């Protein structure tokens, strides 16, 4: 049962799962206003259709020893598709890179990098990132404080 258009119940399921990923199907069904079996079918259809890509635990980086977050503004020397793909493949192997966004404007790629400390980031910067073919320059911005960190996307439970 593929979903091409979301109804109010689908949106309520997505909103609830985004906020409470460990909710039981019974509790999810109650919040969505339907019984458990059709709720489970809808969740599976939303997964199959790609609306739900995966489930994750939201971990505390500092408790796991990652004391800094750095946003690396990467400038590339070549922008052709083959070189961009090579760079994207390369960054997949770096566990400290948590996000990568191809941008328009001054910065070609914005990387979100976590590190134990400044020295660990500098080691990554010099031995991995700057040593990568096609990297022309990197500007690093250290996050001082996170004022808002809300995963997912805004979802209205109103079908529109």
In a shared domain, residues 78 and 129: yes
- The rounded distance, in Å, linking the Cα atoms of 146 and 139 is 19
Q: How confident is the model at residue 157, as a pLDDT?
A: 63
Which residue from 90, 67, 68, 1 is spatially nearest to 38, judged by alpha carbons? 1
Residue 29: give its domain's CATH number.
1.10.10.10
In a shared domain, residues 91 and 126: yes
HEC letters along 50-102: CCCCCCCCCCCCHHHCCCEEEEEEEEECCCCHHHHHHHHHHHHCCCCEEEEEE
Residue 34 has pLDDT above 90, yes or no: yes
β-pairing, 68-76 with 135-142?
antiparallel
Q: Spell out the residues 6+ positions from residue 31 whose beta carbon is closer than 8 angstroms to its own.
A: 12, 16, 23
In a shared domain, residues 41 and 74: no
- H/E stretch holding 114 reads strand 109-115
- The rounded distance, in Å, linking the Cα atoms of 124 and 43 is 40
Q: How confident is the model at residue 10, as a pLDDT?
A: 96
SS3 130: coil
Only one residue has tokens 């990554």, namely 124
Residue 83: give its domain's CATH number.
3.30.70.920
In a shared domain, residues 38 and 86: no
68 part of a folded domain: yes
151 part of a folded domain: no
In a shared domain, residues 43 and 66: no
92 part of a folded domain: yes
Range of the domain at 130: 62-142
Q: What confidence tier does 41 reach under pLDDT thresholds 50, 70, 90? A: very high
In a shared domain, residues 32 and 69: no
pTM for the model stands at 0.86
In a shared domain, residues 42 and 82: no
66 part of a folded domain: yes
In a shared domain, residues 72 and 135: yes
Q: Which residues of 52-74 are buried (b: 16+ CB within 10 A; e: fewer)?
A: beeeeeeeeeeeeebebbbbbbb
Q: What is the mean pLDDT of residues 19-39?
A: 96
30 part of a folded domain: yes
Mean pLDDT computed over every residue of the chain: 94
Q: How confident is the model at residue 120, as a pLDDT?
A: 98
Q: What is the mean pLDDT of residues 49-78?
A: 95
Residue 2 has pLDDT above 80, yes or no: no
Per-residue pLDDT reduced to its tens digit, 77-128: 999 999 999 999 999 999 999 999 999 999 999 999 999 999 999 999 999 9
In a shared domain, residues 38 and 69: no
Q: What is the mean pLDDT of residues 152-156?
A: 90
What is the tally of structural domains in the chain? Answer: 2
In a shared domain, residues 25 and 78: no
Tokens read off for 20: 């409470």
Report the 10 Å Cβ neighbour count for 100.
17
148 part of a folded domain: no
């Amino acid at each position: 049962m593929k979903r091409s258009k979301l109804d109010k119940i689908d949106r309520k399921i997505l909103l609830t799962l985004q906020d409470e990923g460990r909710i039981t199907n019974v509790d999810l069904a109650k919040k969505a206003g339907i019984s458990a079996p059709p709720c489970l079918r809808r969740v599976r259809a939303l997964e199959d259709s790609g609306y739900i890509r995966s489930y994750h635990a939201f971990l505390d980086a500092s408790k796991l020893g990652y004391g800094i977050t750095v946003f690396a503004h990467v400038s590339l020397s070549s922008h052709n598709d083959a070189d961009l793909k090579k760079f994207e493949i390369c960054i997949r192997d770096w566990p400290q890179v948590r996000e990568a966004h191809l941008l328009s404007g001054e910065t070609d790629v914005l990387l979100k990098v976590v590190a134990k400390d400044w020295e660990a980031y500098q080691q990554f910067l010099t031995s991995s990132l700057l040593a990568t073919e096609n990297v022309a320059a990197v500007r690093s911005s250290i996050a001082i404080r996170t004022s808002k960190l809300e995963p997912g996307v805004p979802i209205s439970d109103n079908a529109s």
